[in-house]
Structure 1
Amino acid sequence: MSSTPDLEQSRHLATALPGPRSQALAERQKAAVPAGVATTMPVYAARAAGGILEDVDGNRLIDLASGIAVTSVGAAHPRVVAAVQEQVAQFTHTSFMITPYEGYVAVAEQLDRTAPISGQTRTALFNSGAEAVENAVKVARSYTGKQAVAAFDHAYHGRTTLTMALTAKNMPYKHHFGPFAPEIYRVPGSYPLRDGLSGAEAAQHAISALEKQIGAENLAAVIMEPIQGEGGFIVPAEGFLPAVVEWCKANDVLFIADEVQSGVARTGSWFACEAEGVEPDLMTTAKGIAGGMPLSGVTGRAEVMDSVHPGGLGGTYGGNPVATAAALAVFEAIEDEDLLAKATRIEQVIREHFDQNADDRIAEVRGRGAMMAIELVEPGTREPDAALTAAVAAAVRATGVILLTCGTYGNVIRFLPPLTIGEDLLKEGLSEVTKALQSA
């Protein structure tokens, strides 16, 4: 089954961006949607498939964002489309807490099978990444009987009151939205480009802060993204994660791996924490799990997950049947089309491109699989260059390439293409980044 429905896989600009229909929709948006809901691209989507998004004016754009790592199998994969259509015709909702259905159980079984957690596991389903994180914290507190939770510098875990407290960056995520949830603590992580520390050294700094500022006897869980997302696609130094996890296990503290952005084949393995053999007690998933349908999960050791009393976990829409049908189709597509290998190949293409187009303003090319980034600095320094980053991103978008930035300092360009993108399209999009850098 082809992963690219009938949408020509080529970039084409029928108008300047934004086109007239997008401009008209933007005016309607201003009148109907609050300014706090901001958008990156000034175009309105009409269709998308493979590595292309087509807007309402007929412009075809190269997609290097995947809706923020969501449409990893493409935005209209035929398997997902067929599964959703079939399920919609049967029923759209019953609430699993009222009358359950097989799809929820099947997705839980799939996550239990692929999660890098030994022994028996259990999975509960929810709607969004932030909701999964909140429930992982609830489970950790229930199991341990402790309240404190520690997160790391540069972390991003969501926008709700609890997850904003876990998130490190003020603008735009936390500014003016306090007070935040209590018993949340922040400790130093590992940012090799900026701290210059080995994994063991960075872990010792983190563990010292955990012991001195919180105390293991008060700490329910430590939560971390194996590759930090909004903070800048930061890959911790080798050995950092295993050392932190080892300390957690030795001190009866649960380790929560936040795989919302990095999980479900994005990094070339099912989950990013597999790269260093890290075994979490709890793991959160969302984004790429259901091909664009809202779905998330918390997977954990059976005795941890079962510590919550009946009725303590759930939600009206959690594990919606249409979303679970989509998720099962996503799992099939990943396995049948060998998308883990395709994610690894995307990393090779990106690294080769920037090896061949070296620039002294690129301080680092980093990431794994189809979760890659470049960090931009002032030449000859490590000073973040947010202005250059914004200028390059704007120039690339104007050429018809969907591109995202991130980073605590606003100086990181990230690449999150669909795993189904054609290699020529990927290279074409990367070339526009290089051209924009050369012209900046």
Structure 2
Amino acid sequence: MLRVFLVQTAQGLTPSSGGYKANISLLRSLSGQGNATAQICYANDDEVEQYASRAAANGIEPNVDNTLLPVVDPKGAVHGLSVKTFTDENKIHNIRDELSARMQTLVRLFSSHITAFKPTHVIFNDPITMKITAFHPVRNTFKRVNIIHTAEQLPFGPFVAGVDGHCLSPKVENDMLRKLDGIWSVSMAVKEYASTHGSLATKFLVHPPMTYLDKVAGGMPVVRNNIDKDEIGMVNPCPHKGLSILVALAKKFPDMKFVTWKSWGSRTVHLDQLRALPNVKIESTTKNTDEIWDRIKVLLVPSLWHEAWGIVVTEAQLRGIPVIASNAGGLPEAKIGLPYCIPVNEVTGERHANGDYVVPDQDIAPWEVALEKVMTDRDEYQALQTLTATKASEWFHGLDPRAHEKWLMSME
């Protein structure tokens, strides 16, 4: 049996980012396969209460425990760092803490819980944990595994440190990466990037199937019949996600309705561009993606950066919702050969003075043709909806639900 300890850096137990979904789905899959699992994560008190209540309702003792660790601030005052531990409905042991400016306290916290859990594997996707585990007192008792969710995480190549917080010290992290026991790339695009730009060998595995199951019922997602819906959706509108393409399409088709959901890349300046367009609605970030799938007729994913996979593409396709996506990074892999996958001029890594990627000009014509056809031709839409749901289901059922467990077990 594996004992897997995950360090989760996203804020909250249920954030909307694809990377978080992949991480937590890995842990839930391993737990469901009979392995012991734990994670250290940032969460709010109400989230802890909700998770503990669901565990109790499923006959699992949540064992909620609260501890205050002393933290000394720069002025010498002592404060309490709240740490809660609990077991959730998936039998995952969670160590929840508050964000703190005192890194030494967090290092001690991480280290102590790793020691207490006695893991066979520690999994992470951040440089801080990679360093903490490299010098852990019982380092030789567990394997260290890094998950690569974006090219920006890697300490080499044109996109190094292209996203805030993804790579803090390229030279140091490059050396540390090569001393790990395993590195999981979530797409062939990321695997090839690591090999080409850093001569770094990684393991490509598709996300665990649980990533895409219905979050409430736990089964296959319900296929939608959205032919009579009238909105075109996009998640996380920002320049490197294809904001310019969305704006151009909204201007080209003033009678079509567009709706976007804000996410981590959406800044005020980007949203202001959309607010100037009368046929575009802006919605808040949602953790319940059914709000998206119940509403839209077509999903736009016009990304211009080196996408790792594009979980939102797979989620939509499994529900029979046609996706018009770019061919950037791993998006063709997520598209699994379905229409439409449109060539774009990807960002090259060149940046503006403020650090944002320089976004090249795009050929909008193929996007216009595809969108008009899918939105106005009912026969085309119906055929594409059926094909999308069928092919996505076939792809899903071809996945090995124990692939990640087998890989972890194979590490000597």
TM over 0.5: no
Higher RCO, 1 vs 2 (CA within 8 Å, ≥6 residues apart): 1
